[in-house]
Homo-oligomer: A and B are copies of this chain.
Amino acid sequence: MIDDKESVGLVETKYFEFAKDSPLELECGRTLGPITLAYETYGGLSPAKDNAILVLHALSGDAHAAGYSSADEEKPSGWWDNMIGPGKGLDTNKYFIICSNIIGGCKGSTGPSSIDPATGKQYGLTFPVVTIPDMVKAQKMLIDHLGIDRLLCVIGGSMGGMQVLQWVISYPEMVRLAIPIATTARLSPQAIAFDEVGRAAIMGDPGWMGGDYYGKANPERGLSIARMIGHITYLSDKSMHQKFARKLQDKIEYDYDFVTDFQVESYLRYKGESFVKRFDANSYLYISKAMDYFDLAQGYDSLKDTFEGITAKFLVISFSSDWLFPPYQSKEIVSALRQNNTEAVYTEIHSDYGHDAFLLEVEQLTRLISNFLMHGQRKT
């Protein structure tokens, strides 16, 4: 029995099935169907259906953004529970919050580990390459299904922020407010490089077997290497100094061997090892590739042109120590919006947490987001 007034309480993941008869057309030219989207909702939809907020998750996220998924849990297991709930930044007393797992993932939505109805076997690498616009296209089907014509807001950090930007471009008339956090309009070559090393580690793992490892074991070594690399990019030099410095793990002197010595090593190993238990290696390949391909200005002359005619109001947030999606990349977005006279509030939050700050700087995010929603709701 959950008694937590600060939380949305026990929630159930729902599943929306579509694209059975007419499969979804993807950017790559192939189609996908049938499709299942796992999603959760918190709060109530207003009679006018004008209070819906779509939350978009990052690489390893899922539909379970808030509350408890089981009555046995001692604390809320939703990945953004500190932001979503009664009286929180995304206030469930006021707003109807939707969070859906992306296609290509492995948390209930259709992805490479799903059964291909054409063969009766997991897709593996026969799954089509999906892009951020494809993910958004699938989410749009869900929003239609929920009977919502216009979203009050789309919000998300990291890859979630990419989806926010894409929503505004793909369905401009459906978005009133947009909050891209710690994100970019196009992935930088440095970030592509880190993704590529992660993929090389997975695909170089003999256990990966060309992606056809289902029923055997997840290629854990490669996937854990990929995750370790990712984790370094989510922290900052400074936060690592503060968190680990050069402290040794369970010892006071060097061992002079190749077992881990430093706390930072143990931390990364642990993060890598726990990740492989909850994430599918092929999904990692597909999602990281979708991020690499993301370039909002592709097909346009400039980022400015991309935003032409956009009516959504923006709150763009970056973090000073985020070197994966550095503030200058958020400023590029803001600059392109303002060249179109689109209303865009920009805030760079001073934080030592690096990219992870979008999950940790709760107090500042809460204040910024709740104010923006309140004013934006009145004005738009």
Among B129, B228, B246, B292, point to the contact of A192 (Cβ < 8 A).
Answer: B246
B201 A201 Cβ-Cβ under 8 A: yes
A244 B200 Cβ-Cβ under 8 A: no
- Interface flags for A26-42 (1: CB within 8 Å of B; 0: not) read 01111000000000000
A128-B256, A194-B232, A203-B258 known; A188 and B240 CB under 8 Å? yes
Q: Tell me the number of copies of this protein.
A: 2
Residues of B contacting A29 in the complex (Cβ-Cβ under 8 angstroms): 256
Name the segment of A101-109, A262-270, A369-377 touching the other chain: A262-270
Identity of the chain B residue whose Cβ is nearest the Cβ of A263 in the assembled complex? B189
B246 A225 Cβ-Cβ under 8 A: no
A200-B269, A206-B206, A264-B189 known; A129 and B232 CB under 8 Å? no
A258-B199, A262-B189 known; A225 and B204 CB under 8 Å? yes
A261 B197 Cβ-Cβ under 8 A: no
Query: Shortest beta-carbon distance, A318 to chain B, in Å?
Result: 14
Residues of B contacting A260 in the complex (Cβ-Cβ under 8 angstroms): 196
Q: How far is the CA of A289 from the CA of B256 in the complex (A)?
A: 9
Main secondary structure of the interface of A (DSSP, over half): helix
The answer to the question of A221 belonging to the interface, with a C-beta cut-off of 8 Å to chain B, is: yes
Query: Shortest beta-carbon distance, A203 to chain B, in Å?
Result: 7
B241 A197 Cβ-Cβ under 8 A: no
B256 A28 Cβ-Cβ under 8 A: yes
A258 B125 Cβ-Cβ under 8 A: yes
Identity of the chain B residue whose Cβ is nearest the Cβ of A328 in the assembled complex? B237
The answer to the question of A285 belonging to the interface, with a C-beta cut-off of 8 Å to chain B, is: yes
Residues of B contacting A49 in the complex (Cβ-Cβ under 8 angstroms): none
Residues of B contacting A348 in the complex (Cβ-Cβ under 8 angstroms): none
Residues of B contacting A30 in the complex (Cβ-Cβ under 8 angstroms): 256
A201-B201, A232-B197, A256-B28 known; A246 and B295 CB under 8 Å? yes
B188 A241 Cβ-Cβ under 8 A: yes
The answer to the question of A71 belonging to the interface, with a C-beta cut-off of 8 Å to chain B, is: no
Q: How far is the CA of A27 from the CA of B254 in the complex (A)?
A: 10
Query: Shortest beta-carbon distance, A380 to chain B, in Å?
Result: 33
B196 A268 Cβ-Cβ under 8 A: yes
The answer to the question of A326 belonging to the interface, with a C-beta cut-off of 8 Å to chain B, is: yes
Residues of B contacting A285 in the complex (Cβ-Cβ under 8 angstroms): 258
Contacts A194-B232, A200-B225 known; 5 new A-B pairs at CB < 8 A: A129-B257, A192-B262, A199-B258, A237-B326, A246-B295
